[in-house]
Amino acid sequence: MHHDDEVWPWYGPEKPSLQEAEQWAAFMGVSWRSHGVHKWIAYDRLSGEVVGRGGVSRTPVDDDRGQMYAFLPAEPWARAAHRIRHPIVAHANWLEIGWALRHEFWGYGYASEIGRAGLVFAFEVLGVQAVVSCTVRHNAHSRAVMERIGMRYAGEIRSRGKFEGIEGLQDDAPFAVHVLLRRDWDR
């Protein structure tokens, strides 16, 4: 899926190799076992074809996502780390949600379906306090999914990524952040 020409440019400067994709998948497997959550693979129910991947994952402490504290309540849970510190030291009480679909499956609502399932898993199964989502400012498709599933725009952070219309990665690209707090989910 990350070899799809409409997908990989949103993740890095070049198409990942099969080995890189396998390393990424292995990391997700370890995260499921250690932290009890990471991305799912989505399959077409009739054909069994891979449609995409998505869902919720824990975010590392001590990286650019620390800027997201500004969009979370100033309470101890926001910065608390998960007790299992492998494969990363991750936030314990909030998760990041995301999605990616093979291009032929865009436009049918599958990412929104993945997103809604991820929110249910995060709040109802794992009982987290918040779910955030983050994408480069000009990723209109992904931001539309965030809005469609009830996440609200909170502001921007700066991190390594792409500026619209500019080749390559920059350290201070703008990323839009959407947030859903537990209290709003419960309401």
CA atoms within 13 A on the CB side of 78: 14
Q: Which is nearer to ligand COA, 79 or 116 (CB)?
A: 116
On whether the CB atoms of residues 87 and 59 are closer than 8 A, the answer is no
Q: Which is nearer to ligand COA, 82 or 141 (CB)?
A: 141
3-class SS of residue 128: coil
Q: In the complex, what is the shortest distance from the CB of residue 141 to ligand COA, in angstroms, rounded to a whole number?
A: 3
Q: Which is nearer to ligand COA, 3 or 86 (CB)?
A: 3
Q: In the complex, what is the shortest distance from the CB of residue 119 to ligand COA, in angstroms, rounded to a whole number?
A: 13
Binding site for ligand COA (CB under 6 A): 7, 10, 98-101, 106-112, 135, 139, 141-142, 145, 148
CA distances for 164 relative to 56, 126, 131, 176, 185, angstroms: 26, 36, 26, 13, 32
Q: Which is nearer to ligand COA, 73 or 155 (CB)?
A: 155
CA-to-CA distance for 52 and 164, rounded, in angstroms? 24
| Cβ-closest position to ligand COA | 109
